[in-house]
């Protein structure tokens, strides 16, 4: 076994062992919402979530701001309005343990075709196609429930690697936008077509998946393997397959501990087979995350680490791609990582007049680097190493609606300019039927 792969497996084992002492105390387990209700033949479930955001960025949006940072130190600020996600969910119980679920998502208010200025290369206008079609079908699955411990889900499913992919509703994080670290180095929300086996056993919830591998020709320096789950074609290339898992424990009152991982080859999942000949492009990711909610406090955190084999060869292949290809045509790192911690307190818990409402004052810290380690022949771009400090308020007039206010500052290395901003947002998440 290769040393890097062995090191990765030891890291995964260490994370599991480190979490074990906290898993022996009994408490009430949280169960998938689909399985908490008594099966009713013909029951229709409707729901969804959505976000509307206003942001003011107090830094330049010029594409040269990292290559010629001195020229943009005192650049004017800029603002934007956005609809990051508007999602509609539907489920139906056929009876005898069979159900179907689907989730349709509009990202940024429209179809998944956008024009942007490419900041990594020449500053050209670029039309980005994330997936063929006008909207994202983020989930579509048929599921058979055998018992509480065994459910088989088949179709287009969420890959639960990392905290954000498993808990991506806007009521499940404090920041106005999804947490920056995981959203920068991994697909988010990560969804693939495949098969999932999941269930609840005492104080544990488990899930294992068999899915299509990522596409190496979409990897890049800014977002590591993030775009490898997307497909600009009418199908998902699946010459290589992958596996993912998640294990959550609810043994301590108010505390959830989670461990997740992913492994799969990526180089063969390109239409340009000749450019990736004799390359595996093995992707391995390990992630630990937790949530604590009790005594009017909420604390959440995660640590994710990923390794990409053959990163130099993939970088060389991608740089020679056509300008009309979906590849960013940039170098990709061998290793990427991110870590975060956020803590919030419900201020309204101390006042009788605010009964039924919540006001969380929060602070958050993120560290992430999409080029944490690189092959010795690949230049490490320091601008992709970031620290982010955030603070703000989350106001819940009712449980399903949240109004968010946030100040954040993205701290880059000294040769670059920091990137402070303020954001306001309103969001909802919930079911429209019971």
Q: Is the pLDDT of residue 302 over 50?
A: yes
Separation CA 115–CA 153 (nearest Å)? 36
Separation CA 70–CA 385 (nearest Å)? 18
Beta bridge partners, 152, equal 144, 197
Q: Three-state SS for 4?
A: helix
pLDDT per position as a tens digit, 101-129: 999 998 887 665 555 555 555 555 455 55
Are 249 and 202 in contact by the 8 Å Cβ rule? The answer is no
Are 290 and 257 in contact by the 8 Å Cβ rule? The answer is yes
Mean pLDDT of 39-59: 91
Separation CA 311–CA 379 (nearest Å)? 12
pLDDT at residue 152, rounded to an integer: 98
What band does 34 get if pLDDT is binned at 50, 70 and 90? very low
Mean pLDDT of 286-292: 98
pLDDT at residue 128, rounded to an integer: 57
Instruction: Give this prediction's pTM.
Output: 0.86
Residue that wins the pLDDT comparison between 115 and 99 = 99
Q: Is the pLDDT of residue 185 over 80?
A: yes
Q: Is the pLDDT of residue 230 over 50?
A: yes
Residue that wins the pLDDT comparison between 294 and 12 = 294
Which two tokens mark 236? 């998902």
pLDDT at residue 270, rounded to an integer: 86
Mean pLDDT of 51-55: 97
Separation CA 170–CA 406 (nearest Å)? 14
Q: Which domains does the chain have, with CATH numbers?
A: 3-28+49-431 (2.40.160.10)
Average pLDDT, the chain: 87
What band does 82 get if pLDDT is binned at 50, 70 and 90? very high
Q: Is the pLDDT of residue 212 over 60?
A: yes
Separation CA 129–CA 234 (nearest Å)? 12
pLDDT at residue 234, rounded to an integer: 79
Q: Is the pLDDT of residue 6 over 50?
A: no
């Amino acid at each position: 076994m290769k040393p890097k792969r062995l090191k990765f497996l030891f890291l995964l084992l260490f994370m599991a062992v480190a979490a074990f002492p906290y898993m022996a105390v009994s408490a009430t387990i949280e169960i998938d919402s689909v399985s908490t209700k008594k099966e009713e033949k013909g029951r229709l479930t409707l729901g969804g979530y959505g976000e509307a955001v206003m942001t003011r960025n107090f830094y330049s949006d010029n594409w040269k701001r990292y290559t010629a940072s001195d020229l943009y130190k005192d650049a004017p600020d800029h603002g934007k309005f956005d609809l990051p996600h508007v999602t509609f969910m539907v489920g139906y119980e056929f009876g005898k343990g069979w159900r179907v679920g689907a989730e349709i998502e509009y990202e940024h208010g429209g179809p998944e075709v956008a024009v942007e200025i490419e900041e990594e290369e020449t500053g050209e206008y670029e039309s980005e196609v994330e997936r063929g079609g006008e909207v994202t079908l983020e989930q579509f699955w048929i599921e058979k429930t055998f018992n509480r411990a065994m459910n088989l889900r088949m179709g287009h499913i969420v890959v639960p690697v990392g905290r954000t992919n498993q808990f991506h509703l806007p009521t499940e994080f404090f920041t106005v936008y999804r947490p920056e670290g995981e959203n920068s180095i991994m697909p988010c929300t990560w969804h693939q077509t495949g098969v999932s086996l999941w269930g609840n056993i005492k104080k544990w919830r488990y899930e294992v998946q068999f899915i299509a591998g990522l596409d190496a020709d979409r990897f890049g320096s800014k977002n590591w393997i993030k775009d490898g789950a997307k497909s600009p074609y009418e199908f998902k290339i699946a010459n290589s397959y992958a596996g993912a898992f998640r294990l959550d424990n609810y043994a301590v009152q108010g505390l959830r501990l989670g461990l997740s991982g992913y492994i799969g080859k990526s180089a063969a999942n390109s239409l340009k087979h000749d450019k990736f000949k004799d390359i595996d492009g093995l992707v391995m990711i390990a992630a630990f995350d937790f949530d604590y909610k009790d005594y009017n406090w909420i604390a959440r955190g995660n640590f994710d680490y990923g390794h990409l084999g053959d990163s130099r060869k993939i970088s060389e292949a991608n740089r020679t791609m056509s300008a009309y290809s979906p590849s960013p045509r940039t170098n990709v790192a061998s290793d990427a990582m991110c870590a975060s911690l956020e803590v919030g307190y419900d201020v309204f818990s101390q006042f009788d007049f605010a009964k039924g409402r919540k006001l969380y004052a929060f602070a958050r810290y993120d560290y992430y680097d999409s080029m944490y380690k690189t092959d010795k022949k690949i230049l490490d771009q320091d601008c992709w190493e970031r620290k982010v400090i955030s603070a703000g308020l989350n106001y819940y007039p009712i449980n399903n609606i949240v109004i968010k206010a946030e100040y954040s500052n993205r701290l880059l290395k000294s040769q670059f300019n920091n990137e402070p901003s303020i954001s306001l947002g309103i969001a909802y998440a919930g079911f429209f039927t019971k």
